[in-house]
């Protein structure tokens, strides 16, 4: 057997993990495409459910196909009462991402048949997960305060219905459209941490509910989906436009991360951040702007001045929290909303993975000792004392 020397790269940076036709990123030029279509065009012309269909099934749907897909999603929005009963037992202080991970996994208990070669099984799993995850997030938001969950409304679209379930108030059409675009922007982004987690889980040929649950757990971390929550906390800490420059100077001096800035791939401004900034402007023009946005604008200018030469620019998390906050969404729901959108990308990669599956089994570079003696239990204390 020939043993080859492996090059170790922390975080697998730059190492291809798969071949995919789902999405494409050019970090040097700020390009993101879904199935070859630029994200700017998708945000301008499409809807979240249409873009989800594009990602998962590989092409834009016909009008008939899209209506059928939307109808199926609408029909499956409601949760089984046993899942609602389970959610009643969750602690009120629990994070919504933990609740969502548990609920996604529990959904698999009701649909545990793993017929991955059956197109009907794949179709039904896709529909259930896209339909029910928003309901899970909204239900936990209500139930942790002792309130009954708001039932979905069949006459509302996907984005409008979620906003309605948060507080039982029908959203303004502009707010619903802006939120729908936000979901499109977060739906897919090549092999990020949560998508890789989904692919590894999928490669074992477990059910798609476990795949999504594993991805939700990965997304919850502050270095991934949780960053948008941290951006709002940062803006609150800065407090005023005048404090921006001293804050950035201190962060740079301490070599500390500036939340919402920098990206492993993008070396220019994230195209999704540019679109989100435009959405924020539309929303603020209608409902009024606040100090947080003024702080954010100054923050972007100062960071570009001091770190732009290093390729540090706003990423998707920088403006998304500002938009969600203006829509009246609690801060700790920002990352679950990321999951609502990204489930489309996770399922696209799940479907692609099982179509050409080989279980992931990376290697390692061992750095420990060899040929160590086994020390009997009665002699170990003496060994430690020496």
Question: Residue holding tokens 């996604």?
Answer: 104
Residue 59 phi/psi, 5-degree rounding, is: -160, 165
- Residues with Cβ within 8 Å of 118's Cβ and at least 6 positions away in sequence, in order, are none
Distance, in Å, from the CA atom of 290 to the CA atom of 345, rounded to the nearest integer, reads 33
Question: Residue 302: is its pLDDT beyond 60?
Answer: yes
- Of 180, 270, 317, 349, the active-site residue reads 317
- Give the 3-state DSSP-derived string for 250-294, with helices as H, strands as E and coil as C: HHHHCCCCCCCECCCCCCCCCHHHHHHHHHHHHHHHHHCCCHHHH
Distance, in Å, from the CA atom of 25 to the CA atom of 194, rounded to the nearest integer, reads 17
pLDDT at residue number 114:
77
Tens of pLDDT along 273-301? 999 999 989 999 888 888 899 999 999 99
| pLDDT average, residue stretch 47-54 | 98
Tens of pLDDT along 315-344? 888 889 899 999 999 999 999 999 999 999
Rg (C-alpha) for the chain, rounded Å, is 23
| pLDDT average, residue stretch 266-275 | 90
| pLDDT average, residue stretch 86-96 | 94
Tens of pLDDT along 178-199? 999 999 999 999 999 999 999 9
pLDDT at residue number 2:
46
| pLDDT average, residue stretch 238-267 | 90
pLDDT at residue number 262:
82
pLDDT at residue number 3:
44
- Give the 3-state DSSP-derived string for 8-74, with helices as H, strands as E and coil as C: CCHHHCCCCCCCCCCEEEECCCCEEEECCEEHHHHHHHCCHHHHHHHHHHCCCCCHHHHHHHHHHHH
Give the whole-number percent of the chain exceeding pLDDT 70. Answer: 97
Q: Across all residues in the chain, what is the average pLDDT? A: 92
Strands 37-38, 23-26: pairing kind: unpaired
Distance, in Å, from the CA atom of 260 to the CA atom of 321, rounded to the nearest integer, reads 10
More confident residue, 249 or 262: 249
pLDDT at residue number 5:
53
Tens of pLDDT along 126-178? 999 999 999 999 999 999 999 999 999 999 999 999 999 999 999 999 999 99
- Of 186, 263, 270, 349, the active-site residue reads 263
Distance, in Å, from the CA atom of 59 to the CA atom of 262, rounded to the nearest integer, reads 31
**Does residue 314 sit in helix, strand or coil?**
strand
- How far from chain centre, in Å, is Cα 3? 39
Distance, in Å, from the CA atom of 89 to the CA atom of 84, rounded to the nearest integer, reads 9
Buried b (16+ CB within 10 A) or exposed e, 44-74: eebbbbbbbbbbbbeeebeeeeeeebbebbb
349 is catalytic: no
What domains lie within the chain, and their CATH numbers?
Answer: 19-222+338-355 (1.10.580.10), 227-326 (1.10.230.10)
pLDDT at residue number 383:
61
* Structure token digits, residue 231: 């951006």
- Residues with Cβ within 8 Å of 42's Cβ and at least 6 positions away in sequence, in order, are 34, 51, 54, 184
**Residue 136 contacts residue 152 (beta carbons within 8 Å):** no
Residue 238: count other Cβ atoms within 10 Å of its Cβ: 21
The pTM for the full model equals 0.92
Q: Torsion angle, CA of 261/262/268/271, rounded to 10 degrees?
A: -60
Distance, in Å, from the CA atom of 163 to the CA atom of 152, rounded to the nearest integer, reads 10
Distance, in Å, from the CA atom of 339 to the CA atom of 138, rounded to the nearest integer, reads 13
Question: Residue holding tokens 């529990």?
Answer: 106
pLDDT at residue number 10:
84
Strand arrangement of the beta sheet that strand 31-34 belongs to: 23-26, 31-34, 37-38
């Amino acid at each position: 057997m020939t043993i080859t020397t492996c090059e170790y790269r922390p975080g697998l940076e730059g190492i291809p993990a798969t071949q995919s036709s789902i999405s494409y990123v050019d970090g040097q030029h700020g390009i993101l495409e879904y199935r070859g279509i630029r994200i700017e065009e998708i945000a301008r012309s499409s809807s979240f459910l249409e873009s989800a269909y594009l990602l998962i099934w590989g092409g834009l749907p016909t009008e008939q196909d899209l209506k059928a897909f939307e109808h199926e999603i609408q029909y499956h929005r409601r949760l089984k009462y046993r899942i609602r009963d389970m959610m009643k037992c969750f602690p009120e202080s629990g994070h919504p991402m933990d609740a969502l991970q548990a609920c996604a996994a529990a959904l698999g208990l009701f649909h545990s048949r793993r017929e991955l070669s059956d197109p009907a099984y794949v179709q039904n799993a896709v529909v259930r997960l896209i339909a029910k995850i928003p309901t899970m997030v909204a239900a936990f938001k209500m139930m942790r305060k002792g309130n009954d969950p708001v039932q979905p409304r069949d006459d509302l679209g996907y984005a409008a219905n979620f906003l309605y379930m948060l507080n039982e108030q029908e959203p303004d059409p502009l707010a619903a459209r802006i939120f729908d675009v936000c979901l499109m922007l977060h739906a897919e982004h090549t092999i990020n941490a949560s998508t890789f987690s989904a692919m590894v889980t999928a490669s074992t040929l477990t059910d798609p509910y476990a795949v999504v649950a594993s991805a939700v757990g990965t997304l919850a971390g502050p270095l991934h989906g949780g960053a948008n929550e941290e951006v709002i906390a940062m803006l609150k800490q800065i407090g005023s436009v005048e404090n921006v420059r001293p804050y950035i100077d201190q962060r740079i001096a301490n070599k500390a991360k500036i939340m919402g800035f920098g990206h492993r791939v993008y070396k220019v401004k994230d195209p999704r951040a540019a679109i989100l900034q435009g959405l924020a402007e539309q929303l603020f023009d209608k409902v009024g702007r606040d100090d947080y946005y003024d702080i954010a604008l100054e923050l972007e200018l100062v960071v570009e001045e001091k770190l732009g030469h290093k390729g540090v620019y706003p990423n998707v998390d920088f403006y998304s929290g500002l938009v969600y906050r203006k829509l009246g969404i609690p801060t700790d729901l920002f990352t679950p909303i990321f999951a609502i959108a990204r489930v489309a990308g996770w399922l696209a990669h799940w479907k692609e993975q099982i179509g050409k599956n080989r279980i992931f089994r990376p290697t390692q570079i061992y750095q420990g000792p060899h040929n160590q003696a086994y020390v009997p239990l009665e002699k170990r204390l003496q060994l430690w004392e020496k």
